[in-house]
Amino acid sequence: MKEARDRRLVVGVVQSPEEVVNCPHLAARGSFVTLDHAEVGLFQYPGAGFLIDGSNPVARGRAAPRLGEHNREVYGAELGLLDEELAALRVAGVI
């Protein structure tokens, strides 16, 4: 690392997911937030990588969506499909 810095190279440590979650430096920076997920319960999520006024902006967020949780909003509201069309896609195994 020192040699790379001395040569003004942009480098960083590559960690496994387990190492990242258990990293004391990231924990001390408040990089992770605990959110409640409908299927797995309380779960640690990575934050935004920066703090705003000393807090992690992801802390006000929501847990990852479940598969198909937003189908109606995406296919209906965004793409204009009717409920009957969504039902046909479900029956066909498309969604």
Mean pLDDT of 2-24: 89
- 89 and 76 in one domain? yes
User: Are the beta carbons of 43 and 35 closer than 8 angstroms?
Assistant: yes
pLDDT of residue 16: 93
Domain count, the chain: 2
At 24 the pLDDT is: 92
Please indicate, yes or no, whether residues 42 and 59 belong to a single structural domain of this protein: yes
Query: Is 55 in the same domain as 83?
Result: no
pLDDT score of 30: 81
Question: Could you tell me if 69 and 50 lie in one domain?
Answer: no
Q: Check whether residue 47 and residue 69 sit in a common domain.
A: no
What is the model's pLDDT at position 54?
A: 80
Shared domain for 73 and 88, answered yes or no, is yes
32 and 52 co-located in one domain: yes
Question: Are 57 and 71 part of one and the same domain?
Answer: no
What domain range includes position 13?
1-64
Residues 12 and 23 in one domain: yes
* pLDDT given for residue 11 in this prediction: 86
The answer to whether residues 73 and 87 belong to one domain is: yes
pLDDT of residue 51: 78
DSSP assignment string, 28-88: HTT-EEEEEETTTEEEEEE--SS-BTTB-GGGGS-PPPPTTTTHIIIIIIIT---HHHHHH
Residue 7 dihedral angles phi and psi, to the nearest 5°:
-90, 5
Distance CA(93)–CA(70), nearest Å, equals 16
pTM of the shown model: 0.53
pLDDT digits (tens, 9 = 90+) for 29-79: 888 888 888 888 998 888 777 778 888 788 778 888 888 889 999 999 999
